Amino acid sequence: MEIDFIIALQSSGQRLDFIVSQAVSDCSRSRAAALIDQGNIQVSGHQKRPGYRVKTGDRITGKVSFPKQNPPVTSAPLPVRVVHEDAHIIVLDKPSGLVVHPAAGNRSNTLVNRLIHHFPDLMHIGEDLTRPGIVHRLDKDTSGLILVARTVSSLHFLQKEFKFHRVEKIYQALVSGADISDSGQIEQPIGRHPKHRKRMSVNHDIGRPARTSWQVIQRFERACLVSVRLYTGRTHQIRVHFYDLGHPLLGDRVYQFRRNRRKQQTYPRQMLHAWQIGFRHPYSGQKMRFAVEPPLDFLSAVANESEAAPGARTSLR
């Protein structure tokens, strides 16, 4: 359906996502925010953020669509790498190449399909049945730690911990170029790319705040192994931030210098690994921390870069 209305005086100052959810029947705030983020809702011909405070006279236009009901998720009798499990949470080591949850084009070969085979009690944890227990995600080709809630109360607790940036997430990455500073911080807003809708970009108009810091572990002749901490959790955040910094991740085919996008990449995926995660246990409140070493392809890439830089020493501890 299409919407087209003018903001009246009494509605001035309210959030855009709230206004849209009130104007469209059966449209939740989260659905309204998603439509705004996707550019389907505009304010006087301009894209805004869901939290934009509307003004008297603003014209709200756009198209509102509702997703089709997803079919039930099927289980897949394939292995999962469990790092820790108890009655409230599961911590997994996700391999690269595995999508976290079902979506169009991939309904059966995902981490969620495997999870519900091994942990059928997850099936009804959360409102979205395609993401039962899922608190956060990793890109398909990113390996490493992912946290899953096993009860509804754990899910709500951990969602708030992530929302307020109280979960510590540390990655390892191989970034191109040897001239990056020993340590640093990137604070650049991330939003949809203005032309390529499947990509993200540093976007000062509609982007949401994003903060990343890094520390060099080892320098090589043409790359650096870095430890990366995420303070926010925007889509593709590490990949976008290092690309914008001029040091795209090795193996990344999307966030890559234009001159290199069509070249044969040395590595089969972006060299990014979710190395450590620290959080409060949703039941006991105890501080927990887990770490997993990178997989073989990542270690091989480090070894390859080390061989290209005689005398370099690498520490992954």
Which residues, 6 or more positions from 45, have their beta carbon under 8 angstroms from its beta carbon? 59, 61
Note if 17 is an active site residue.
no
Q: Strands 272-280 and 143-149: what pairing?
A: parallel
User: Smallest Cα–Cα separation from 306: which of 108, 117, 110, 174?
Assistant: 174
Q: What is the DSSP letter of 92?
A: E
Radius of gyration of the chain (CA): 21
d(CA 42, CA 35): 10
108-to-130, 199, 244 alpha-carbon distances in Å: 11, 24, 35
Q: What is the DSSP letter of 215?
A: E
How many angstroms from the chain centroid is the CA of residue 228?
14
How many angstroms from the chain centroid is the CA of residue 86?
25
Q: Which of 58, 93, 139, 252 is catalytic?
A: 139
Q: Is residue 257 packed enough to be buried (19+ CB in 10 Å), middle (13-18) or exposed (0-12)?
A: exposed
Torsion angle of alpha carbons 189, 190, 196, 199, nearest 10°? 160
Residue whose pair of structure tokens reads 């109360």 in the numeric block: 153
| Active centre residues (catalytic) | 139
